[in-house]
Chains A and B, each alone.
Chain A
Amino acid sequence: MQAFTYANPKTLKEALASLAGSWDEAAVLAGGTDLLSLMKQDVYAPKKVVNIKGLKELKGMERTGDGGFRIGAAVTIDELMKNRLLGEEFPALRAAAQGITSPQMRNMGTVGGDLCQRPRCWYYRNGFGLLATGTDGKSLVPSGENEFHAILGHGNKAFFVSASSFGPALVAYGAKLKIASASGVREVNAEDFFRVPASATEREVDLKPNEILTEIVLPVSRGSQSATYEVRQKEAFDWPLVTASVMVKLSGGNVSEARIALGHVAPTPWRSKEAEQAITGKAITEASVESAATAAVAAASPLSQNAYKVQLAKVALKRALLAAKG
């Protein structure tokens, strides 16, 4: 880890003023579980670290005026998991939190940190850059060790998978994220927050170096049913291989609206409109979830070692849909 200066602002305004125009100048520190690892690995060496854990603007969970829910970005995973109301109304989010099976990680990690964490791609973590570039300028992933890499949306370029646990559920719920900068607050759909970088210097989220993700706003969940299903190999702390989060509204036994997102299959949480279309208008049955799952992975282009993830994606989606049905 390289030396840096440390700032501990007391207000959001002060925090924003402490940031800079480039990622190399200043980094935001919340739970630290990802940032410190990246810095120890010398993958990232910001000159300044700005602690935002203490900012009251980033704390708290409460119902919003319209019956939705607001989650401060600095709320810990543990706090989210134990919020009874949130758990009842947004079970897909609670399940995602429960999937982070390390109590220590849940105590330290924040919701905002989960969304902004960098990929776990082992080429990236070993210093080959976000796009895992070899000496020939091409990605090392397709002919390398890619069993945990993307099967969808990689565009033959960005093969890492988004590591976010909450991303798929937030996409499924149609959540919005609030992002503050010195010039004001902007709002972005969870789905649009995640992006595929065109170069290794870009981030995989829609966040500028001088911005802070402050809160997550969930729309009203009444009338919807939702679930997350994760495929993890270990029960003790382990990264999921594939996850699926679904939100459906049923009308007369048939799906009237569906939002479906897969996790750990693409550089972003992967919204599958194909699967949504396939299940809409149908009752949730073994047959309909099978066709939705098939639609979800129709465009998959697996790599040399990860064809198995196509099946995992299908299975996770089917099980999530059946769980949402209840």
Chain B
Amino acid sequence: MAEYAWPKMSERSLIGKRISRLDGAQKAGGRAKYGSDQNPQRLLYAAILTSPHARAKLTSIDLSAAKSSPGVTAVIAVEEVGKEVQWEGTILAAVAAETELQARDAVRKIRVEYQVLPHVVKDDDVAKAGNNAKPAGEQVQGDPDAAKSSAAFTSQGFYGLPVLTHCCLEPHGQTVQWSGNEITVWSSTQAVSNYAGDLGAQLEVPATSIKVHQDHIGGGFGSKFQSDQWGAFCARLSKESGGRPVKFFHDRNIELMIAGNRPSHYAKVTVGADASGKITLWESESWSSGGIGGGNIPPIPYVFTKIPNQRKNHNAISTNNGGQRAWRAPNHPQASYLTCCAMDDLAAKMGKDPLELFLTNCELTTREDAYRRQLNKAAKHIDWTSKWKGRGKSRQGYLAKGLGIGVNTWGGAGHESTATARIHPDGTVEIECGTQDLGTGTRTIMTQVAADTLGLPMEGIRLKIGDNAYPASGGSGGSTTVGGVSSSTRIAATDALNLLFEKVAPSLDNAAPGDLEAKNGRVYVKGNPSKGMSWAEACKKLGVAPIEVQGRNNPRNPRGLNTGGVAGVQMAEVTVDMETGVVVLDKIVAVQDIGLVVNPKTAESQVYGAMIMNVCGSLYEERVVDQITGRMLNADMEFYKLAGAPDIGEMICELEVDEENDSRGIIGLGEPPTVGGLAAIGNAVANAIGVRVPMVPLTPRRVLDALNGRNS
């Protein structure tokens, strides 16, 4: 019988190969249709009214003028009078009209009165947060006081990361039609199979009445798991408009204000070490904010979790800003930055090469060998040993160069996933799964797994995903998708193949079904390709009925097909213009532990993309809010800055693909490489300019302020 276990590395036809993504041409040629591209017949457009105030009580709302505005088909109050708005951009009302311009005109006619209330939108100073700061309670481990007094070296520093917004290029939204008892949604979601239940709960409609379809999604990064209030009001607008479909996608400014952000993290950290550089002490006072709900406790000390003596205090700061959502590796990039910068500063205080300090302390991690190996590999890629000089010692003229290190860890085991494999008597094969391809290559890797399992070429598989009519599969978050869907696909395809073997075996001198294998488009007795038949002939043995089997990845028993737990190291080299404070990333290297890699090409793209996200986070992007007006001032893509093609330097990615790692099964890769780059770049800048710039992004202002002893 065919086995579930992954074939040996040497025996794979498609798994592990650099296959180009299947929908690449469709996307690059603009033919791929996203939820925002749907133009069903008789389409209406929705527009929304949002609060310009960060905190205010809604005292009256008059929709009448909007209702009689030209082209309007429906108007809905999203919030009721008396509601206390808690952030700018809060949606108050929604309008559907024949054209988007008419919908916007109608929104302008809605009259709202507010009682404006005091707000807090800044989170960078815990001392100013007052009652908005909620202490999490002190956590102590070992004897930090004794460790402090006995430490040969201690280093104190302040480090911070502001709120970022996901800035998905396809904004949040959907096209919806609620006609009769049936709701059809063309979504932009990371969780196709979960969407109907979520929307149904909002609308008090059975999930079974809701059809969800999505071929493509224009970015999510953790912010698109819910159907959201816009899913609900858009459906209601459709219903009130006689069942005509309604399209609503956020404008960029509202998208940045309310549709997800990564919480800020700030910390004052003290680290202590003995004379050899082994870290003995961690003390931190941290705070963070992701909006009104406060902010999470960062997992610090990050990776170097076995520091024996620790004292940690954290405050969650509640602010009048749109709420946080999951962002690739929630809290990890921030924790890595806080930890690795503190370690880098300790090395500087000791006059030690930080690479040595990190190597010395690998024993404080749970993957000592992996981190040591990766630190050495990354150092080689970036030529650390010959290039590294002490802080501020690589200056030539007004340019200074520097190197820095950051580390990561993540889980990444497969999520709950079911998939159907169907083999038709004509030899065609369908795989169906209610998953979604976020651009990670899910479509491609599932096809590779199915085709490899069945001994067929890629073209032999018709893959169907992105619809809740297909077997349920988990949301795409936490690097869980590749493990989940590859495993469910493998199990389904294997079971289907075994059923086919049972039908075929009698024709092959009554060979035992378990003696058969399927390779190169043929089904034959193992080791004897001539004793067999083509795939098409084999499938004819099915008669008139197809074989259909469902496979399931059970995260509690993944059968060795997937697992979690990786380590990674990133190193960066920068050049800083000491006179202008402009930082240029010359090179960044990622060495990433991983399991079985289904597709190295799309896997590398994940790593490059993650590193580029770190270039943005370390050098360019931050949400700017104004305390007086409570407004987000850069809710655009002009001053909410992202790196462009010339801003990313040289990028090197080494995935640690080898027999040993491969034997662990599949491990997801979306999150881990997003972690570590911030610290690598931040530390490289400190190395270059000779002082720590406490906060990212490392703008000319912050760099020059740090050099001139100004507080920014």
Contacts and interface: CB of A to CB of B under 8 A. Distances in A.
Is chain B in direct contact with chain A in the complex (CB below 8 A)?
yes
Nearest 10 Cβ contacts at the A-B interface: A236-B644, A235-B646, A122-B633, A308-B704, A315-B579, A308-B701, A231-B580, A144-B626, A147-B701, A234-B647
Nearest to A307: B710
Nearest to A134: B628
A143 B627 CA distance: 9
Contacts of B627: 144
8 contacts: A1-B101, A120-B638, A125-B636, A148-B639, A233-B582, A234-B643, A234-B644, A236-B644
Contacts, number: 94
A1 B104 contact: yes
Interface in B254-275: none
A42 B101 CA distance: 13
A237 B627 CA distance: 28
A148 B627 CA distance: 17
Interface in A287-326: 305-308, 311-312, 315-316
Contact of B631 (A1, A101, A126): A126
Contacts of A233: 582, 619-620, 641, 699-700
A88 interface: no
B694 interface: no
Interface of B: 52, 101, 104-105, 108, 579-582, 619-620, 624-629, 631, 633-634, 636, 638-639, 641, 643-647, 699-701, 704-705, 708, 710, 712
B700 A234 contact: no
Interface in A12-51: 42
B524 to A, nearest CB: 56
A122 B639 contact: yes
Nearest to B52: A127
B257 to A, nearest CB: 11
A91 B108 CA distance: 47
A237 to B, nearest CB: 7
A241 B625 CA distance: 20
A311 B104 contact: no
A144 B628 contact: yes
A202 interface: no
A234 B701 contact: no
B614 to A, nearest CB: 15
A28 to B, nearest CB: 22
Interface in A210-252: 231-239, 241
Contacts of B631: 126
**Counting chain A CB atoms within 10 Å of each CB, which of B105, B580, B624, B631 scores highest?**
B580
A122 B253 CA distance: 12
Given A231-B580, A235-B646, A235-B647, A140 B639 contact: no
Interface string A142-179: 01110110000000000000000000000000000000
A311 B577 CA distance: 12
B105 A3 contact: yes
B701 A305 contact: yes
A125 B643 CA distance: 23
A42 B704 CA distance: 36
A122 B632 CA distance: 9
A120 B634 CA distance: 11
Contacts of B638: 120, 239
A102 to B, nearest CB: 9
Contacts of A239: 638-639
A140 B629 contact: yes
B628 A140 contact: yes
Contacts of B624: 122, 145
